[in-house]
Amino acid sequence: MEFSVESSFPFNFKTVVTSHGWCQVKPFHWREEEETLEYILELSNRRVIRLEMEGDQNGFKVKTGNLSRLERIETEQKLHWMFGTDIDLSLFYKAIKGTSQLAHAKKKSMGRVLRSPTLFEDVVRTILTTNTLWSATIRMTNKLVEQFGESLPQDPELQAFPTPSRLAQTNEDNLRSETRLGYRAPYILELARRIDSNDLDLESLKTSDLPIQELRNELLKINGIGPYAAANLLMILGRSDYLPIDSWALKVVSHEWFNGEPIKPSQVQEVFDKWGEWKGLVFWCWDWKLFHENDDKK
């Protein structure tokens, strides 16, 4: 079957999909040439389906197998969340008006970040981005999906992202030796087990109206989530008050404002403070000089 998902405007399908690296990692698959995104989704009734999405005039269209009425409602709800279709970007565009390094943001409808259907998936993915190279993040996440994800009946080579209850049943040794998560293994296992035993209601944070500092504190309580990871997750939750300062951020900010001299996180903070509640998005959308210089060298 085929159906459309409508979004608030402005909206650009490809811009959301490529907003960060999630589209390169299972169970996402981005087919660049066709500008088509695939995702393997496990529904609450445990049925696993394959979604194929491409942009259209009002948002994007979705191809999948036949769904019952309830399955379709659930799928649509998840897709609206993943693409942030209810997000109003007008105040962000107003805040950045007149800044040349951000002029492209409105033209490309930037400001939405591709989300996973569950916050659990986004937290696990984020933990797997910390203290490692991007290639290792891809390897660890793909392995986690292959090893623990429920298979698509029509193509068992494809799996959905593992649910907390499936991960809760494994053990730390397996996550270390087979999935190669290293010291992150106990963090992922503890998170899965807390959710599975109803000790933690992570998904409620998606709709929480907690003040930003309290929301951040809730994320920081999760083992494996520090300031950088919390800032990234807040961006995913649509709150851009904090900066995800990692080694890459120190590099590009130093190059942009400090002549490439070594800088501290507090200096990155000072540069972006004037953007207030938008600083995370401003950082995300900034047109870094370093990229253009690298382009020139190609």
Partner DNA sequence: GGTAGACCTGGACGC
Partner DNA sequence: GCGTCCAGGTCTACC
Closest CA to 118 of 175, 224, 2, 200: 200
Give whichever of 135 and 259 is closer to DNA, judged by the CB atom. 135
Radius of gyration (Cα) for the chain, nearest Å?
Answer: 19
Min CB(269)–DNA separation in Å: 11
CA distances in angstroms from 255 to 26, 107, 243, listed in the order given: 33, 25, 17
Nearer to DNA, 111 or 224 (CB): 224
Q: Half-sphere exposure of 94 toward its Cβ, with a 13 Å CA cutoff?
A: 5
Peptide bond just before 10 cis, omega within 30 deg: yes
Helical residues (DSSP H) of the chain, grouped into ranges: 13-17, 69-83, 90-96, 103-107, 119-127, 134-148, 164-168, 172-177, 185-196, 212-220, 227-236, 247-257, 265-272, 279-285, 289-297
Q: Which is nearer to DNA, 55 or 224 (CB)?
A: 224
Q: How far is the CB of 50 from DNA (least distance, A)?
A: 28
Minimum CB–partner distance for residue 184 and DNA (Å): 8
Considering the complex, state which of residue 80 and residue 139 has its C-beta at the smaller distance from DNA: 139
Output the smallest distance, CB 159 to DNA, in A. Answer: 19
Q: What's the DSSP call for residue 62? A: E
Give the Cα-Cα-Cα angle 138, 140, 143 (nearest 5 degrees): 100
Cβ 141 vs Cβ 128: under 8 Å:
yes
- Least distance to DNA, CB of residue 101, Å: 22
Contact positions toward DNA, by CB under 7 A?
Answer: 130-133, 135-136, 139, 176-177, 180-183, 187, 220, 222-230, 246-248
DSSP, collapsed to helix, strand or coil, labels residue 59 as: strand
By beta-carbon proximity to DNA, the closer residue of 55 and 164 is 164
Least Å from the CB of residue 260 to DNA: 14
Nearer to DNA, 139 or 206 (CB): 139
